[in-house]
Amino acid sequence: MQDLAQAVGATPVENRRRILVPGAGLLRLPLNLYLAGYEVEANEVSHHQLLASLFMLNQAETDPQYALYPWVLSFSNHVFRGDQFLTCSVPDLRPRKLIGETARVGRSLKINMNDFVIEYSKPCYKNHFDAVTTLFFIDTAPNLLDYIATVSHCLEVGGVWINVGPLLWNCYENGPAGRQEGDLDDDISCKMRQRLASGECGDPGAPKLEFSNDEVLKLLEHYGFVVEKQDRCIGEAGFVANPRSMLQNMYQMSHWVAKRRP
């Protein structure tokens, strides 16, 4: 959000900046951007993420919070048994109330549930957005070239692409479950989500390209971007990680800002 504010600056109401957030997850980043004054379009295809996010978006102010137990089914690497039963309450804020308070000024928060590459390669989206923000997203691409070409298509000339996240290519094979780490139940559930047990893995001949961070930056330049900022000291981040666990998986973030050349 700091990068975005620096890149596009403050704009009058009639020229409000249009931001695309692919891989929007539970829509927290799109919501924050919307509340900061931008026109936001969130893109997410996971039905699990959408069910949860739409449920929270429609929570009334009087509705209760719900307690989640993220690690209750994980029996490994706990210092104290009580750590297994740590809770978090959702939603931690009332999106519906906040959106209602800002709706009168004419901003919009759109949710697009179609495939990112197919949808935003359409002619109607050419040069459509002032900025694209990706958070823990680009490594979900079987072929990153498709993602870069799509962003180049839908981003206006002079627009910025801001990225923060790891490079965990082919997440199932390279993640903890793929290496048979952690609990067996976690591994089985991951296989079910990825449809690996039933052999429904998609096209087995589809290319899976795994680039290093410096190669990603070179590809951006090849596709007409100028990398204006890269920061490998932005810090570490876990992912659905128990901060009290004896096993910690931490990512060093790939953080860069790229501007589309004319």
CATH number at residue 240: 3.40.50.150
Residue 49, beta-bridge partner list: none
Question: Residue 180: what pLDDT?
Answer: 46
pLDDT category of residue 95 using cuts at 50, 70 and 90: confident
**For residue 127, is it within any domain?**
yes
Closest CA to 41 of 144, 89, 124, 113: 113
Co-location of 230 and 248 in the same domain: yes
Co-location of 141 and 197 in the same domain: no
Q: Give the model confidence (pLDDT) of 213-238 as tens digits.
A: 999 999 999 999 999 999 877 888 88
Co-location of 185 and 203 in the same domain: yes
Question: Residue 234: what pLDDT?
Answer: 83
Length of the chain: 262
Which of 20-24, 61-65, 201-205 has maximum average pLDDT?
20-24
| Cα–Cα dist 87/109, whole Å | 30
**For residue 43, is it within any domain?**
yes
Q: What is the mean pLDDT of the chain?
A: 84
**For residue 233, is it within any domain?**
yes
Co-location of 185 and 104 in the same domain: no
Question: Residue 197: what pLDDT?
Answer: 44
**For residue 184, is it within any domain?**
yes
Co-location of 233 and 139 in the same domain: yes
- How confident is the model over 133-139, as a mean pLDDT? 95
Residue 257, beta-bridge partner list: 162, 229
Residue ranges making up the domain that contains 192: 170-207
Angle, alpha carbons 115-116-119 (nearest 5°) = 75
- Residues 20, 108 contacting (CB under 8 angstroms): no
Question: Residue 39: what pLDDT?
Answer: 92
**4 token code pair:** 């975005």
Co-location of 202 and 226 in the same domain: no
Specify the 3-state DSSP secondary structure of 139. helix
Spatial strand order in the sheet of 254-260? 109-112, 39-43, 18-22, 129-135, 155-165, 254-260, 225-230
Q: Tell which wins on pLDDT, 128 or 172.
A: 128
pLDDT category of residue 249 using cuts at 50, 70 and 90: confident
pTM for this entry: 0.85
Give the count of domains, the chain.
2
Residue 120 Ramachandran class (φ > 0 left, ψ -120 to 50 alpha, else beta): alpha
Co-location of 132 and 237 in the same domain: yes
Co-location of 139 and 224 in the same domain: yes
Co-location of 244 and 188 in the same domain: no
- Pairing status of strand 155-165 against strand 129-135: parallel
Q: Give the model confidence (pLDDT) of 144-199 as tens digits.
A: 999 999 999 999 999 999 999 999 887 655 555 444 444 444 455 555 544 544 44
Question: Residue 184: what pLDDT?
Answer: 46
